[in-house]
Amino acid sequence: MINFIIWIIAGGFIGWLASLIMKTNSRQGTIADIVVGIVGAFVGGYFLSPLFNVSTINESNYSIPALLVSLGGAIILLAISKLFRNVGGFVVIVVIVLLILVYSNCWTMGSASAFCTSVRAIPFLQ
């Protein structure tokens, strides 16, 4: 039970720090800070933990590196939410995802489809 309470407090602190860094603190309350901190720790665990080989607060690790990785995940989460607040940000995210899909399907798999052949023929991609 005490571990759960520490997890909530650490999540709230991380969410609050991330909202200060991303300047979204005026739009968020305490509950939103806790949610951002905990979900941001999941994001940090998925994207940043393999890079730095450090666990997050979701794995009951409350060390400084784990708090920093969780903070990085919360910042990533808030940056993505700020992008989705307008249509332009949504279009940018969709274009990036489509480029990643085209790259992963046409170059790494070596597909011989007509689409991949035409994409490989684009001069600035050579």
Helix/strand/coil (H, E, C) string of 85-113?
CCHHHHHHHHHHHHHHHHHHHHHHCCCCC
Alpha carbon distance 82, 87 (integer Å): 11
65 & 97 share domain: no
Tokens, residue 43: 């994001």
Q: Mean pLDDT over all residues of the chain? A: 80
Give residue 126's pLDDT.
57
| pTM score | 0.66
With bands split at pLDDT 50, 70 and 90, how would you rate the model's confidence at 17?
A: very high
22 & 2 share domain: yes
Alpha carbon distance 126, 122 (integer Å): 7
21 & 63 share domain: yes
Residue 125's domain comprises 86-126
Q: How many helices (H) and strands (E) does the chain have?
A: 6, 0
36 & 94 share domain: no
67 & 5 share domain: yes
